[in-house]
Structure 1
């Protein structure tokens, strides 16, 4: 149990790093969206029956996200593109969530303006 407590402390530290990176790197509307998304993801994983291997992968992916925000990730990670093998592995619920996130980002990029002006591709994955 002691190792689990240590790992959860690491995840709590990672969560604080995410919020700090959002505060330092993202404009207001994107910060609110990012904070909300991170909070919901951490909450969902805490409520689920997540295995230690899943927790490690979860922490690894969020650490990569923090690195990307801080500009310390490699070029491929900063591209913003989701590899095709990852897209193929998404569940229908995950695809829907990603599509909603794309729509919200496109709306923010437009400044809440009219549809069609966005430089983001708003087509759903798959």
Structure 2
């Protein structure tokens, strides 16, 4: 059985991620919220070792997103996110690779549905 401290940590992290997502553009927020919700549900009954890895990775995600959401950082870079290290792909299972590809397709579809103004102006 999981300790109450562990459950509390998971809940705090879960809430933090959703608070951080509030600062994202609308289409990224929906995508991020849905993905986080599904991942936390999927790992609800994982073993202790997987839970530690899961919490570590999502904590890193929250820290990186918080750094990127700082107003000064956004003014400098005007982007959110970072590129995935290609070496990480070597450690992923087939299911994880499929999931990553589906996430990529969903993100690309969101971008194509709402093209930036500059692209629309160029087409005219």
Q: Which has the higher contact order (CA 8 A, sep 6+)?
A: 2
Aligned to 2:106: 104
What are the residue-to-residue correspondences of 1:110-121 with 2, within 5 Å? 110-112=112-114
Distance in 2 (alpha carbons) for counterparts of 1:79 and 1:107? 17
Alignment equivalent of 1:68, drawn from 52, 57, 64: 64
What pairs with 1:18-33 in structure 2 (closer than 5 Å)? 18-23=17-22, 25-33=23-31
Alignment-derived partner of residue 34 in structure 2 = 36
What does the per-residue CA deviation read over 1:98-117, in whole Å, with 9 as the maximum and x for residues that have no partner? 0111111122223346xxx8
3-state DSSP of counterpart to 1:80: coil
* Whole-angstrom CA distance in 2 between matches of 1:62 and 1:33: 16
TM-score calculated relative to the size of structure 2: 0.74
Counterpart-to-counterpart distance in 2, 1:27 and 1:71: 16
- For structure 2, the 5+ residue unaligned runs are 69-79, 120-124
Q: CA deviation at 1:56?
A: 1.4
Residue 79 of structure 1: how far off its partner (Å) = 6.7
Count of equivalent residues: 105
Greater Cα radius of gyration, structure 1 or 2:
2
Q: Deviations over 1:11-64 (max 9, x none)?
A: 0110000000001x2111111111110000000101x4x222221111111111
Structure 1 segments of 4 or more deviating over 4 A?
A: none
Give the TM-score of the pair, scaled to structure 1.
Answer: 0.73
